[in-house]
Amino acid sequence: MKRTPIAAAARGALPLALLLASALPAAPAWAQDGAPTPTPTAPDPAADDMFNRAQSIDTQTSELGVIQASRVLSFDEAVELVIRNSPDIKIAEERLKQAQVLQDRAWALLLPTATLQGVYTRFNKEIATNFGPAEIIIQPQDAFNFQGTLRTTLFNGRAFPLLKVAYLTEELQRLGNQQVELELRYATAQQYFQLLTLKKLITISEESLKSREVVLEATRARVNAGTATPFEATRAETAVLTARNELEANKLAFHKAREGLASFLLTPADFDVAEPRKRQLPASRTSFVDQAMSERADLKLARKQVESNDLQQDANWWLYAPTVSAQFNVTKVPETALQPNPWQWNIQVIAAWTLYDGGMREASIKEQSIAIQTQDYEIQKLEEGIRRDIELAFLDVENLQVQLRSAEEEIKLAELGLQQAQDGYRLGALLQIDVLNAETQLRLARANQARLQLAYDLAVESTWRVAGVDVAE
């Protein structure tokens, strides 16, 4: 299959790894090992009250995480848009029309043909003779001749297999169109799920910013109460600034990725995305392989190509048979003394049989036999590849399921750790940096879970793609 604009669109979109890597920088220097750590201070009631109130208020960060959109574009709607607007689909439709034209050409071998021909001739002189008192014209100086022919095929053994090939070519092109739609769906899934992940990262960054602002408010209260150092306030302010920058970076990555998807779908970039209905894999790999063997458009196409090659071979064998046609002719010539009746007609039955053509028929049969055998090998190779790809796809999905479960456990532990760090900070048993480190750990755990979820969703989508499931299913 030729390279289509799908590949160009994929190259135009921002690389997924780059977007997700830039969305979450490494932990700041003050949260790493070796950073200065002040001595824990005694609990301060006023600061604790400020810390509790800061956790409950709505901070000014709510506007930062808002995604400006005038509509929500679901995944199914995105697939419909790409199928309706993609140049690849329009190209495939035009190729289907070309395949349908072949049927008209095949029928031309069997349908009658009609031709008309008129000839005007001016001779250098008129030829006439006298018989008694009358002049008889033998050849007029100006002559008008007319001939009409109607020809139809009575027998042509090649016509019927070639007609079947023409209709089979249309089926082959339709299968090719299905493959294009399946590839477009997967390309859409890649970019759509990428947007969903970036949206989650925006939410994670927003929550991280709010949490760090809570710490900043509490630290300022303790500084005012004399139970914390100005350095702690500066560190908390630095953490807030870092979180704001991360949030803005995530938003920028989201908008760039949305522009790429909008360009791919040929729609305005004014939409938000929503979680799609998850597609589940069947429990039995054997049934999934069986489904792939019956649903894969490229495998169907290869099998149909074998059928087409067999029909072409039948047509080659019919080259050894004669062809029979019937022809009706009608002519009009100038009326002369020698030709008193200007209108004439006749019927002909014509049989043509090529006895020797220099070996062209034998060469065509050998060439087609090689093509048939080659196609058989291609089908075997394709079937083995499908089995291998499905096995690897299931292993990828199962591996990501294990990683997702571990990531969810990591988030629970990080949430517990953050709660314990906040409680310890209120009681003066832990330092401010312990709270910031715990918050960073939770943020990284959530971001890791979001990336794993993206990888899992794409792995499931890729597995269905390997099975060749139609877009509408």
Residue given tokens 């900043």 in the structure block: 216
Q: Which of 11-20, 56-65, 329-338 has the lowest mean pLDDT?
A: 11-20
List beta partners, residue 118: 146
Q: What is the pLDDT of residue 470?
A: 53
Would you say residue 72 has pLDDT above 90?
yes
User: What does the pLDDT average to over 363-371?
Assistant: 94
Q: What is the pLDDT of residue 228?
A: 87
CATH number at residue 439: 1.20.1600.10
**pLDDT for 294-330, tens place per residue?**
888 888 889 999 999 999 999 999 999 999 999 999 9
Residue 35 lies in a domain: no
Buried b (16+ CB within 10 A) or exposed e, 184-202: bbbbbbbbbbbbbbbbbbb
Would you say residue 371 has pLDDT above 70?
yes
Residue 65 φ/ψ, nearest 5 degrees: -90, 0
33 vs 464, higher pLDDT = 464
Q: Under 8 Å CB-to-CB from 368, ≥6 apart: which residues?
A: 309, 312, 313, 316
Residue 126 lies in a domain: no
Residue 409 lies in a domain: yes
Look up residue 345 and give its DSSP letter. Answer: E
**pLDDT for 385-438, tens place per residue?**
999 999 999 999 999 999 999 999 999 999 999 999 999 988 888 888 999 999
Q: Average pLDDT of the chain?
A: 83
54 vs 335, higher pLDDT = 335
Would you say residue 216 has pLDDT above 70?
yes
CB 31 within 8 A of CB 440: yes
Residue 141, both tokens:
């100086």
Residue 280 lies in a domain: yes
Q: What is the pLDDT of residue 34?
A: 42
User: What does the pLDDT average to over 451-466?
Assistant: 89
Q: pLDDT class for 58, splitting at 50, 70, 90?
A: very low
CB 241 within 8 A of CB 25: no
71 vs 46, higher pLDDT = 71
Residue 92 lies in a domain: yes
Residue 32 lies in a domain: no
40 vs 161, higher pLDDT = 161
Q: Tell if the pTM clears 0.75, that is, is over it.
A: no
Would you say residue 283 has pLDDT above 80?
no
Give the containing element (helix H, strand E) for 155: strand 142-155
Q: What is the pLDDT of residue 66?
A: 60
Residue 186 lies in a domain: yes
Query: For residues 255 and 19, what is the distance between their CA atoms, to the nearest angstrom?
Result: 11
**pLDDT for 444-453, tens place per residue?**
999 999 999 9
Residue 266 lies in a domain: yes
Please give the tally of structural domains in the chain.
1
Range of the domain at 211: 5-25+46-58+65-119+142-467
Any idea of the CA torsion for 172, 174, 175, 178, to the nearest 10 degrees?
160
Q: What is the pLDDT of residue 138?
A: 79
Q: pLDDT class for 440, splitting at 50, 70, 90?
A: very high
User: What does the pLDDT average to over 173-191?
Assistant: 89
Q: pLDDT class for 56, splitting at 50, 70, 90?
A: very low
Query: For residues 215 and 418, what is the distance between their CA atoms, to the nearest angstrom?
Result: 12
